[in-house]
A and B are shown apart, each in its own frame.
Chain A
Amino acid sequence: ELKVEQNPLFLSMQEGKNYTIYCNYSTTSDRLYWYRQDPGKSLESLFVLLSNGAVKQEGRLMASLDTKARLSTLHITAAVHDLSATYFCAVDTYNAGNMLTFGGGTRLMVKP
């Protein structure tokens, strides 16, 4: 069974600081996704990573994928308060029916 683990589960950081969220998964994956969720809201797609070595950046967020290590990272550069949210990684695999399996989420709080 595919398992997806994120760490840390909770992250409190000061504005302007850098930090990385890690996402490990247990079996071969076809695609890895990062989502943002604000309290009481649905999931907003941030990145889709399709292949080993893929790196995508949007604003202060950068995501990368290492399929050999079964690891993805979401790096936050010079955090701002507006980035406060819960971030989920998710994996889907063709052999598992192309359904997303989510990690437990990382709750990020950026303090002014």
Chain B
Amino acid sequence: DTGVSQNPRHKITKRGQNVTFRCDPISEHNRLYWYRQTLGQGPEFLTYFQNEAQLEKSRLLSDRFSAERPKGSFSTLEIQRTEQGDSAMYLCASRPFTGQGANYGYTFGSGTRLTVV
């Protein structure tokens, strides 16, 4: 297993366009998280899944943001009608929820850097 994989690494889009990012977690990790990080700030929680169930989505920044994890494996984060303020690094993390591994933290992917022009 090569860890948490995110694609694309970089995305430049024009304002008003829709974008979708993909996250492939570590295969045995049943929890998957999305975070946003703007320049000079700590990551900000957006949403998370346990298997295919989205357990928390109230922190998604607006109704333009949505996330799915249809089969409990990979996840997608979509931003509709992008705005310049959406420019940020979008990070995905996964972790096991139960068992001893649950005490050993979150594994983060390399992130997708979004630039809205």
A interface residue numbers (CB < 8 A to B): 4, 31, 33, 35, 40-43, 45, 48, 50, 88, 90, 97-105
Residues of B within 8 A of A41 (CB): 110
Query: Other CB < 8 Å A-B pairs besides A50-B103, A98-B97, 6 of them?
Result: A31-B103, A45-B105, A45-B107, A45-B108, A100-B43, A105-B42
B33 with A99: CB separation less than 8 A: yes
Query: Within the complex, what minimum Cβ distance (angstroms) separates A56 from chain B?
Result: 12
A33 with B56: CB separation less than 8 A: no
B56 with A97: CB separation less than 8 A: yes
B interface residue numbers (CB < 8 A to A): 31, 33, 35, 40-45, 48, 55-56, 91, 93, 97, 103-111, 113
A100 with B110: CB separation less than 8 A: no
A33 with B106: CB separation less than 8 A: yes
CA distance A41 to B6 in the complex (A): 13
Of B40, B45, B103, B111, the contact of A100 (CB 8 Å cutoff):
B45
